[in-house]
Structure 1
Amino acid sequence: MLLKDKVAVITGGASGMGKAEALAFAEKGAKVVIADINYEGAQKVVNEIIVNGGSALALHVNMTNSAKINDMVQVILSELGQIDILVNNAGVFDKYKTSLETSEEDWDFIFNINLKSIFLLSNSVLPGMISRGNGTIINISSVAGLVAGKGGAAYTASKHGLIGYTKHLASVYASQGIKVNAICPGTIVTPLTKDILDNIPVDNIPARRFGQQEEVAELAVFLASDQAKFMNGTAIPIDGGFTIQ
């Protein structure tokens, strides 16, 4: 198994791409921790993993609260001993609001979830990874982090910022055994996107279809495995060719 006995923490794992990642990581042998503000949903995913013979733990966390994040990390270390893989999947969308349509409260909310929470959790997890000389962080960005027009002002800026943060982490900590990469999904069929898919033309996608959350999960598994051990600081689009146009 590619990830046998690795401890993988997946934020936002109660649904959508996070759930698909949790199931895929467990299938490959990882001990999965699903960290989500939706504890009931996270527990349902844990139950599904356990029924299929995997190992998983659900934890409730408010990703905007540094103290809660640190407490969660300490619980994981106490229960499982270490954290090998962190998948920063939790995120929110801004429904294509332009800059003039975006309030200060909207901006802060998007950035607190999509960027600040990842900074806080990564800083909480990194010291343990550095002390062992090994660890993987995968940040779920978006094609909106590579081009304009796939999100609103705050979302686009936050996802561009996440790619910059990914590159910073890799540039500083790669020499200490830490691998940090970003995944940039295009339009993926998830519960979050189901209400807007009818308004998105597939003609803009060379593959002429939307992506599936399982496809993103498979890429995350690869990046977390030793098969990708020389990949660092990359921002990988998985978008049916949208960004090559």
Structure 2
Amino acid sequence: MALSINSIQGKSAIVTGAGSGINLCFAKLLVENGCNVLIADLALRPEAQVLADKHKTGPARIVFQETNVVDWAQLERMFEVAEKEFGEIDIVCPGAGIYEPHWSNFWRPPHSTESRDSPSGGRYALIDINITHPIRTSQLAIAYFLKNRTSGRRKHLLHISSIAGQITNLTAPIYNATKHAINGLVRSLGALDQKLGIRVTAVAPGVIKTPLWTDHPEKLKLIDDTTDVWVTPEEVAEVMLALVRQEEVSEIIGDRSGRGPLYKVSGGTILECSKTVRAVNQFNDSGPGNRPGNTASVHRTAEEESYQQMTQKGWGLPKL
């Protein structure tokens, strides 16, 4: 069966976290294919600023809206701005996320020197960014999709999961928990596709060469450059673009060479993105395995650091 493609020309999108990395590459593909994009982020890295400046005007535009995704009022504002700038909203990607930084980290709990999570705050910044923000953004997206649906065209809510949503990882347990939660959210909203024409899907990247890794020496220690393979953000963005261009239950090529299997795409679909692409099954899935682009081999050193954290006097206890 031939791949059936739906044009995104003339449509409009909101992408959080598109100031850099995968989401920036996705925003670039969207605008280059004729789709208006509101980038919602704290700031634009230089490469994102160049893209935004290039598409200030024209048939497809980029608008930057400074947004702290943990602030619900700012999430509401980004939808208001997108609707004012572009009219009907077709695609929403709550892509902003972080990978267990020392300032919001299971092994550096509140009261520890490096943590910025307030001991009296009752919350973790990592959870606010990685799962609370996608949940609230999903609610707002569905509300806007239903409120001003004048065209009758399918809507897309595209999440960023991870291979971490299928595996365990002692060094990043909160991050893994948030990605397991994203998978559950996407699958739970899958029925909206047939009922309301709102397709909720996700990509699950492997080890991606983005600032999320490269700006953090403590994370780069997990990578063995002699054996591990980086996946590029551009490769993931291509799969994201394919997901929002599919017709009702058309198919997406599961191998970048074009020789691999075909997968039916519908609501609740999660596509793992390593050097190949595969659908992640809800039950009895084989897991990401050691496919190129899925491995970060040097976990033992990082795990030892986690154990060392626990040996510190008073670890995890309130300071008196």
> Normalization by structure 1: what TM-score?
0.86
Further displaced range: 68-77 or 7-16: 68-77
- Counterpart amino acid of residue 22 in structure 1: A
Confirm or deny that 1:16 pairs with 2:21.
yes
Deviation at 1:103, TM superposition (A): 3.9
Gapped runs of 5+ residues in structure 2? 1-5, 112-116, 250-264, 277-286, 291-320
CA root-mean-square deviation: 2.8
Q: Is the 8 A contact 2:189 2:200 kept in 1?
A: yes
Among 174, 185, 194, the alignment partner of 1:154 is: 174
- Counterpart amino acid of residue 84 in structure 1: D
Deviation at 1:53, TM superposition (A): 7.2
1:75-114 mapped onto 2 (5 Å cutoff): 75-95=81-101, 99-103=106-110, 105=117, 108-114=124-130
CA distance in 2, matches of 1:60, 1:44: 16
Among 58, 61, 65, the alignment partner of 2:71 is: 65
Confirm or deny that 1:220 pairs with 2:243.
no
Q: Is the 8 A contact 1:143 1:239 kept in 2?
A: no
Confirm or deny that 1:190 pairs with 2:178.
no
Relative to 1, partners in 2 of residues 1:112 and 1:4: Cα closer, same or farther, differing over 3 Å? same
Further displaced range: 35-44 or 213-222: 35-44
Relative to 1, partners in 2 of residues 1:217 and 1:102: Cα closer, same or farther, differing over 3 Å? same
**Higher relative helix content:** 1
Larger Rg: 2
Listed one character per residue, the Cα deviations across residues 168-224 of structure 1 (whole Å, up to 9, x for unaligned) are 2223564111000111100011122124345313677xxx52100000110010011
Further displaced range: 40-49 or 55-64: 40-49
- Counterpart amino acid of residue 129 in structure 1: F
Deviation at 1:137, TM superposition (A): 0.6
Further displaced range: 195-204 or 127-136: 195-204
Further displaced range: 148-157 or 47-56: 47-56
Relative to 1, partners in 2 of residues 1:88 and 1:228: Cα closer, same or farther, differing over 3 Å? farther
Among 189, 199, 222, the alignment partner of 1:199 is: 222
Relative to 1, partners in 2 of residues 1:72 and 1:95: Cα closer, same or farther, differing over 3 Å? closer
Q: Percent identity?
A: 26
CA distance in 1, matches of 2:242, 2:193: 20
Gapped runs of 5+ residues in structure 1? none
Deviation at 1:44, TM superposition (A): 3.7
CA distance in 1, matches of 2:201, 2:171: 21
Residue aligning to 1:121: 137
Aligned length: 242
CA distance in 2, matches of 1:21, 1:155: 22
Residue aligning to 1:235: 270
Deviation at 1:162, TM superposition (A): 0.9
Q: Is the 8 A contact 1:102 1:154 kept in 2?
A: no
